[in-house]
Structure 1
């Protein structure tokens, strides 16, 4: 059987399934927001073992009429890896129950590594609603998506909205706490370095991890003045406000963690040149450490590449981008650096050391 356009019916049906999968994909993020808002990962964690649906809805005080809807959402989330459906014995009966998985453990708010603030920030309608204006944005030559939706770029918006700025900073800190799991075993920051500047270091989460590993290391957290103005330093960690396009404090090494993907090439070159100036007193011993995505479609798993490409679409909203190795190399050479080395860090992120 074939359709009027020459496609086999089986191809048409497969295409329909793909369209519908993307059409309703927003329910993935909304169901994620749902479990964070209701604190379901916390409930299961505090329960101490897998929880039955009856116990879960009792704790949540769900109306009888909506219990079936909770079951549907939990079944879908389990299908996608956020919960595991197991069998337990309770009240002398075998019952179905929900257990946490590595993904939902990352949403337990009492956990050291919790991504719930990231979920709350990204899925706030202020940001997520902007994506309804992709059509309008694509015709605007120089504007970011947030320029179109909010009337200003994201950084100006954060400066003018302190409450949302706090949400954003906590989201970035939560992401850093997970990333720092990879940094704990990373040797790019070594005992040979005396001082590191963490550009865009937020509230200092990464700086504190580095100083715990190397007690003699001095770490300068460099960020927008409104981010660091109320933060207190210590013997090892200090906070400096400023503009990375103007100057960066002097140090042995400069750390750019998920910074360059926010910017177009010409802006990245300006930032890297300021980094080069910051390490100039150390001659060839100084270096810039970049933690970011490196797209490598030919060598990585299809699912990993898919996530990286999704992140690339996300960064387009800032007029930024995720890059492959050749695009990174071009940036480094045009910024005046001579060499670089790329090493894996996490499933999505790589560590790039750039040498003057």
Structure 2
């Protein structure tokens, strides 16, 4: 845990002068670099193949029909056909195409591969069975509230992929790419398109559960001291449901737009409230904003933070759940690349949103009037930032 108290002085880093560099121009290095480039170019295939596997329900089929063992492409195809036999679409399943998707995903460890027993040594093609791995278990949806499947379907949704086609125009014109693709902001688009709104809410909700379980545990003492908690932009109430389940003395208020609240399910201990977070946040002992700050530009963020400041008492807290980028200086680290990938998504999916460094957060907190903050590192990329007025 890291606590910083005012004055929040900037930290200046002096970079050593560059004395020279060595560039490897050997044929082996050039070939490796070309392979690395093509790996990046073809990376777009991965989420789309994963999306196909989830839409075909392959992880669930292996989990439920394989008796915890692997299945062949033919066996998986049989269950896909059975599941679609009553639909108006053609229930025919092309085993060849299915096998190629499975083989591709297995090459990245999504599925395991094993040869079927009792095969002739001279067989032209070895029969392969595909099983679940730790990765594909995360995509099983039936009875699994921690499934990453809905979040995958959100990220790989065509609505958002279309916005990426305008990424270069954001540089040339300073435009918002989602608005360029669809003629409206992402929030207005979701308000007008119930199906897209459902995909968004379900994707965010499933991703919320794993993060908020850590928040509820790691900030346990803080929750014990509060009686009311407002979740600003709380969506379906998933975050609050986890907190009030662990801390039943808390009265939760889930604040979001009317079209979101209209589909939010009843939750014991939580009041769903329609409202505009930029205009008013209900008074409470604490205000929580999970993945809200990163959706907006600095001006909007300061306004939200000031509304949160106004909504809480002198000893109240504002809880922010966000990724903090820039802490890892290793350029090749997976966590750094993932954090910057999130930043690219926000560049495309929002109107001015971005992932921020600690210094960037600090400036926002100062402008909103907060005097100190504490950072609690959560598993994966997220952190819980606790703001105080004193």
Same fold, TM-score > 0.5, yes or no: yes
Q: Does 1:302 align with 2:333?
A: yes
Deviations 1:246-266 (A, max 9, x none): 110101111111111111112
Distance in structure 2 (CA, Å) of the matches to 1:210 and 1:336: 27
C-alpha distance in structure 2 between counterparts of 1:227 and 1:291, whole Å: 20
Q: Normalising by the residue count of structure 2, what TM-score does the alignment of the two structures yield? A: 0.82
**Pair 1:11 & 2:41 matched:** no
Indicate the residue corresponding to 2:13 in structure 1: none
Could you tell me how far apart the structure 2 residues matched to 1:262 and 1:231 are? 21
TM-score normalised over the length of structure 1: 0.89
Cα deviation digits, residues 174-230 of structure 1 (max 9, x gap): 211222332342225421100000111111111111111011110000011211135
* Alignment partners' CA distance in 2, 1:233 and 1:63: 40
| Partner residue, 1:186 | 218
For 1:243, what is the secondary structure of its paired residue? coil
Distance 1:8 1:299 in 2: 25
CA distance in 2, matches of 1:206, 1:300: 32
CA distance in 2, matches of 1:332, 1:114: 34
Q: Which 10-residue stretch deviates more, 327-336 or 219-228? A: 327-336
Report what 2:70 is aligned to: 51
User: Hey, what's the Cα distance between the residues in 1 that align with 2:266 and 2:165?
Assistant: 41
**DSSP 3-state at the match of 1:25:** helix
In structure 1, the gaps of 5 or more residues are none
Equivalences for residues 51-70 of structure 1 within 5 A: 51-53=70-72, 54-61=74-81, 66-70=94-98
Q: Do residues 290 (structure 1) and 310 (structure 2) align?
A: no
Partner residue, 1:176: 208
Distance 2:118 2:59 in 1: 20
Structure 2: distance between partners of 1:49 and 1:352? 41
CA drift at 1:6? 8.9
Q: 1:346 aligns with which of 372, 379, 385?
A: 379
Give secondary structure in 2 for the equivalent of 1:178: helix
Residue 321 of structure 2 contacts residue 384 of structure 2 at CA under 8 Å; is this kept in 1?
Answer: yes
Q: 1:198 to 1:88 in 2, by over 3 A?
A: farther
2:12 corresponds to which residue? none
Distance 1:230 1:19, change over 3 A: closer
Match for 2:129 among 66, 88, 97? 97
1:249 counterpart = 2:282: yes
Kindly tell me the number of residue pairs found equivalent between the two proteins.
345
Q: Give yes or no for the alignment of 1:75 onto 2:98.
A: no
Alignment-derived partner of residue 14 in structure 2: none
Q: Give unpaired runs (5+ residues) of structure 2.
A: 1-22, 82-90, 120-125
Equivalent residue number for residue 344 of structure 2: 313
Query: 1:343, 1:352 within 8 Å by CA — same for their partners in 2?
Result: yes
Evaluate the alpha carbon distance shift between residue 311 and residue 182 of structure 1 in structure 2; reply closer, same or farther with a 3 A threshold.
same
3-state DSSP class of the match of 1:20?
helix
Residue 146 to residue 182, structure 1, CA distance change in 2 (3 Å): same
Query: Are the structure 2 counterparts of residues 86 and 277 from structure 1 closer, same or farther at C-alpha, using a change threshold of 3 Å?
Result: farther
Larger CA deviation: 316-325 vs 9-18: 9-18
Tell me which moved more, 120-129 or 78-87.
Answer: 78-87
Contact 2:319–2:384 under 8 Å retained in 1: yes
- Checking the alignment, whether the CA contact within 8 Å between 1:232 and 1:238 is kept in structure 2 is no
- RMSD of Structure 2 on Structure 1 (CA): 2.5
Q: Does 1:355 align with 2:388?
A: yes
Contact 1:52/1:97 (<8 A) preserved = yes
